[in-house]
Chains A and B, each alone.
Chain A
Amino acid sequence: DVKVTQSSRYLVKRTGEKVFLECVQDMDHENMFWYRQDPGLGLRLIYFSYDVKMKEKGDIPEGYSVSREKKERFSLILESASTNQTSMYLCASSFPSAGGDNEQFFGPGTRLTVL
């Protein structure tokens, strides 16, 4: 069974803090993703990584950065958290495919509140 785990289910931070969200997958997937989920907006891609140390911006990268030092781990970093970054954050992973149509496996999410 594919397993994608996220370091925290709930997180409360203060405005201006540096925040790290960690994601680990155990299926040797090359691709890893970070999304944020907001009511009425669905899932929006923040960053994507297709290999160790490789990353691409998604649709809403502003205010975020990522790190992928090992294949199984993908970290999302909020350099200076702001209240508009209060959201549910979902990590996902998948094998690559020529057509890009492989299933993405999601973690349970981290609900981040920035006060």
Chain B
Amino acid sequence: GENVEQHPSTLSVQEGDSAVIKCTYSDSASNYFPWYKQELGKGPQLIIDIRSNVGEKKDQRIAVTLNKTAKHFSLHITETQPEDSAVYFCAALPRGGGGNKLTFGTGTQLKVEL
């Protein structure tokens, strides 16, 4: 089955700096890669996703890049703000992964310091 590794497990940045979180996946047939953000006391929420036919996707201050050859994808947050502090999870969906069954990474605790 699919295995997703996520690094780093914790990340501390100064407000205004950029943050990058990286994930690798094992199943070359995976074709959908979402990122979820979990704020304290809440469930995870989708913030951006990318499909395997696209190399990069951007939404305001966040962007995701995908390298299918190397089987890794990354989340980039620019101009970080205190409200970006949260746990971020990457995930992968194998092709033919019926029922929307995602494999999640282990999470990154991002702290944006003033």
Interface size on A, residues (CB 8 A): 30
Q: Which of B45, B99, B105 contacts A100 (CB 8 A)?
A: B99
Q: Give B31's nearest chain A residue, CB to CB.
A: A99
A101 to B98, CA, bound (A): 9
Interface size on B, residues (CB 8 A): 27
B99 touches A43 (CB 8 A): no
Report the tally of A-B residue pairs with Cβ distances under 8 A: 70
Given the contacts A41-B106, A42-B107, A100 and B98 also touching, CB distance less than 8 Å: yes
A40 to B46, CA, bound (A): 20
Q: List 20 A-B contacts (CB under 8 A).
A: A4-B43, A33-B100, A35-B104, A42-B6, A42-B105, A42-B106, A42-B107, A43-B89, A43-B104, A48-B99, A50-B99, A56-B99, A58-B101, A99-B31, A100-B97, A100-B101, A104-B102, A108-B41, A108-B42, A109-B42
